Amino acid sequence: MSFMDSIWLVPIFPLLGAAFNGLVSNRRGLSKTVTQTVALAGSGLAWLWGWAAIAQWYLTTDHHHAHVVTVFQWVNGGALRILDGSMADLTINASFQIDALSSVMVGFVTFVGFLIHLYSVGYMHDESDRAYARYFSYLNLFMFSMLVLVLGSNLLVLFVGWEGVGLCSYLLIGFYFEKDWCASAGKKAFVVNRIGDWGFLLAIFACFAVFGSLEFGSMFPQAAAHPESYASAATVIGLLLFVGAIGKSAQIPLFVWLPDAMAGPTPVSALIHAATMVTAGVYMAVRCNVFYRISPTAMLVVAIVGGLTAIFAATIGLVQNDIKKVLAYSTVSQLGYMFLGAGAGAFVAAIFHVVTHAFFKACLFLGSGSVIHACGGEQDMRKMGGLKKYMPTTYWTFLVATIAIAGIFPFAGFFSKDEILAKVFAAGYGDLNGYGGLYYLLWGMAVVGAVLTAFYMFRLVFMTFNGEFRGGEEAEHHLHESPWTMTLPLQILGVLSIIGGFMGFPGVLFGRPELNKIEQFLEPVILPLQWGGHDAAEHVEHAVHHVPLGLEWGLIGLSLAAAFVGIWVAYRFYMGTDAYQRPRLLAEKFPFLYKLLLNKYWVDEFYDATVVAGTKKLADLLWEFDARVVDGLVNGTRNATVGWSFLSGIFDLRVVDGAVNLVGRTYEVASINFRRLQVGFTQGYAMVMVFGAAILLVVFLVSF
């Protein structure tokens, strides 16, 4: 059996698990053992099968070409005329593909997904049997959708997965739907994502109108072969796709749903809202890199939005006190880095950061889940502290992941973040698309963002694990290390946070570029553009090669320095005898700034006041219109009909019925009189006849 040819089984396994848990376990209330066995089998088989398929693809093909498996023909729309005047066949297959990019994604999604399933077994154990089954059903359904998303070989299959993960995200954020704020957080995520999906859907339509196909294997080579003729189309498609990515990956201005998404169970935050789903936007941007490289405008927009989000979210993260909120803003910020990288042409670096981020952010979220579990549901860091001695495994793995995200050599985050920073700097240095100055500015912001990242992450660690416990005697009594199902994933992810970065070792610094395995591996995804030397990405690669080696080392030193500055400030603020004194003084000194950050720039309030209130106002207006005009029309029509039918009824009763009755009456009266003639005496008739004949005879005779 060929794993590679039955790649479609990878998403099917978790789908079966979801179906069983959702339709059987949840309804029947089967025991937790059954539920978790099925769920772990679903995601575990997907993991094994996925990795086997990747291995087979890597070993048996030249791994430069996508291996496409068509399961069935899905849409058969017939011939349509597309924009360039030719006819195209609207045929869309339900097909999956395995290539370098999807194997990277499948590789970490199935693996991290399985670990988080395992973690959930411990974390959700206090739920009722049916809620437990519902949870795992959703989680497996999410795995299915995510795998469809990354394995799909055309935009429509990708979109199915895209909507599927959105649905599962909604279901899982609102998992505790009996709490009002959880339900509305789910709703918020769903609605905000719809705005992005609107853009994505338009992009799909535009792609078909321009290329006459939605297959990756036909759109991208077509665009790469004639970049000049597709330049304007690429701008439109690229920007519309990016609208979708903004929604899904929580970028400015649609990031507001992600912090609220923390209402879901913590493993969900780790899996969906940190490691996998939110990186779908990055995956999509990298998948469609050809469009962005053709269109400098689209690329610059991606970079600016990413850069702004990176620093904007990081500043909010500085002052939050909810442990999960800090991580949520950190995720938004890191996603900003990924888009900044993609926007600077560093698509491989963006995916590299997606992978390392999946490791350390999943570890951080799972660690925070472990902490929350121990603190009995408490999420406020001001009521934690000193947890180091109660839960050492959680502490050490959390610390490792924190060092990784802060970007300290040789942890995973160092390599990926530094790669992005270097590429953005190179984009400025090489004057990418003539926007060099802007890229320098974005690079500067990203470096400041790196300082902030290191600061808020270490602030979180110091507040949670160091110092004294501030949650009271009783809560302290309950502190305990989590069970092995929770700590094992933490340990595995912790190890990966340490060593995961070496897959993208910057060998170019040592004159050995082949050491950067992930870049080598993903190279086929970045199709060469055929316009003699004006390749947008080539500028970057060119520039990177020409950033002098000394400057490169300097950049690395700078980003390390940035991280250490952040850590040092966090240490000064939150450790030692005068802990918490300096931040309080700072907050008192700049009360407005503190309030601004604490209230997240009032973005939610701003949206409530403008978009939400505006929409409600519009809805009210439309309702008024409906009630007054439309209903008025309908009621008017009804009243007119009633009136008319009343008149018509009178006419019917008087005139029509009158005429009918008159006829009847006439015959009645006539027959009353005439029936006297019908005596029924035969000879009477004969007599009448004879006398009649006699009269006729007389008349006849007289008239002559």
Least distance in angstroms from the C-beta of 671 to another protein: 9
Whose Cβ is closer to another protein: residue 660's or residue 670's? 670
Segment near another protein (CB under 8 A); pick from 195-203, 338-346, 376-384, 676-684: 676-684
- Helix 323-343 × helix 296-317 angle, to 10°: 160
Q: Which is nearer to another protein, 78 or 680 (CB)?
A: 680
Burial of 448 per CB tally in 10 Å (0-12, 13-18, 19+) = middle
Stretch that binds another protein, among 120-128, 498-506, 581-589, 679-687 (CB under 8 A): 679-687
Judged by CB under 8 A, the stretch of 112-120, 581-589, 618-626, 680-688 that binds another protein is 680-688
Site for another protein (CB under 8 A): which residue of 473, 680, 701, 702? Answer: 680
Q: Which of residues 63-102 bind another protein (CB under 8 A)?
A: none
Q: Minimum distance from CB of 635 to another protein (Å)?
A: 59
* Angle between helix 412-429 and 549-574 (nearest 10): 130
Identify which range of 434-442, 461-469, 516-524, 677-685 contacts another protein by CB under 8 A. 677-685
Closest to another protein by CB, 484 vs 667, is: 667
CB of 684 to another protein, least distance (A): 9
User: Which residue, 663 or 686, is less far from another protein as judged by CB?
Assistant: 686
310 closest CA partner among 291, 338, 286, 289:
338
Among 621, 653, 655, 679, interactor with another protein by CB under 8 A:
679
Give the one residue of 681, 699, 703, 704 binding another protein; rule: CB under 8 A.
681
Contacts of 222 (CB under 8 A, 6+ apart): 211, 230
Helices 323-343, 280-287: crossing angle, 10 deg rounding: 10
SS3 content of the chain, % helix, strand, coil (to 5): 80, 5, 20
Total binding residues for another protein by CB under 8 A? 13
Q: How far apart are CA 672 and CA 667, in angstroms?
A: 8
Q: Give the shortest CB-664-to-another protein separation in angstroms.
A: 19
**Is the bond preceding residue 392 a cis peptide, omega within 30 degrees?**
no
Q: Which is nearer to another protein, 585 or 686 (CB)?
A: 686
At 254, is the secondary structure helix, strand, or coil? coil
CB of 677 vs another protein, minimal distance in Å: 7
Q: Which letter does DSSP use for residue 381 in this model?
A: G
Looking at the Cβ atoms of 577 and 673, the one nearer to another protein is 673
Residue 650 CB, shortest distance to another protein, in Å, is 38
Instruction: Of 152, 141, 150, 242, give the one whose Cα is nearest residue 198.
Output: 242
| Cα 12 to Cα 371: distance, rounded to the nearest angstrom | 34
Query: Closer to another protein at the Cβ: 33 or 682?
Result: 682
Smallest distance, Å, CB 662 to another protein?
23
Cβ nearer to another protein, comparing 532 with 680: 680
Is residue 235 a contact partner of residue 285, using CB atoms and an 8 Å limit? no
Nearest C-alpha neighbor of 501 from the set 418, 413, 396: 413
| Smallest distance, another protein to C-beta of residue 690, A | 6
Question: At closest approach, how far in Å is the CB of 699 from another protein?
Answer: 19
Residue 673 Cβ vs another protein, minimum distance, rounded to whole Å: 10
- Are 15 and 140 in contact by the 8 Å Cβ rule? The answer is yes
CB of 660 to another protein, least distance (A): 25
Q: How many residues does the chain have?
A: 704
Pull the structure tokens for residue 205: 């339509």
Nearer to another protein, 86 or 682 (CB): 682
**Of the residues 642, 677, 699, 701, which one makes contact with another protein according to CB under 8 A:** 677
Q: For residue 109, what are the contacts with CB-CB under 8 A and spacing of at least 6?
A: 143, 146, 147, 150, 275, 276, 358
Quick one: angle between helices 129-151 and 155-173, nearest 10? Answer: 160
676 binds another protein, rule: CB under 8 A: yes
Shortest distance (Å) from residue 648 CB to another protein = 41
- DSSP summary character for residue 528: P
Of 47-55, 150-158, 292-300, 678-686, which part binds another protein (CB under 8 A)?
A: 678-686
Give the residue with the Cβ less far from another protein, 577 or 682: 682
Q: Per-residue contact track with another protein, 620 to 659, x per CB under 8 A?
A: ----------------------------------------
**Amino acid identity, position 605:** E
Q: Shortest distance, CB of residue 656 to another protein, whole angstroms?
A: 31
With respect to another protein, which residue has the nearer C-beta, 656 or 690?
690
The label of the residue with tokens 């992941």 reads: 401
d(CA 120, CA 135): 9
Between 647 and 672, whose beta carbon lies closer to another protein? 672
Q: How far, in Å, CA of 527 to CA of 546, rounded?
A: 22
CA 37 to chain centre: 28
Alpha-carbon dihedral 38, 41, 44, 47, rounded to 10 degrees:
-100
x/- letters, 656..675, toward another protein (CB under 8 A): ------------------xx
In 3D space, the residue among 418, 424, 410, 389 whose CA is nearest the CA of residue 498 turns out to be 410
Residue from the set 548, 682, 701, 703 that interacts with another protein by CB under 8 A: 682
Q: For residues 683-702, which are near another protein according to CB under 8 A?
A: 683, 686-687, 690
Identify the helix (H) or strand (E) that includes residue 208.
Answer: helix 180-211
Name which of 232 and 678 has its Cβ closer to another protein: 678
Q: Nearer to another protein by C-beta: 70 or 678?
A: 678
Contacts with 265 (C-beta within 8 Å, 6 or more apart), sequence order: 120, 123, 124, 135, 172, 175, 176, 369
**Residues that bind another protein in the complex, under the rule CB under 8 A:** 674-683, 686-687, 690
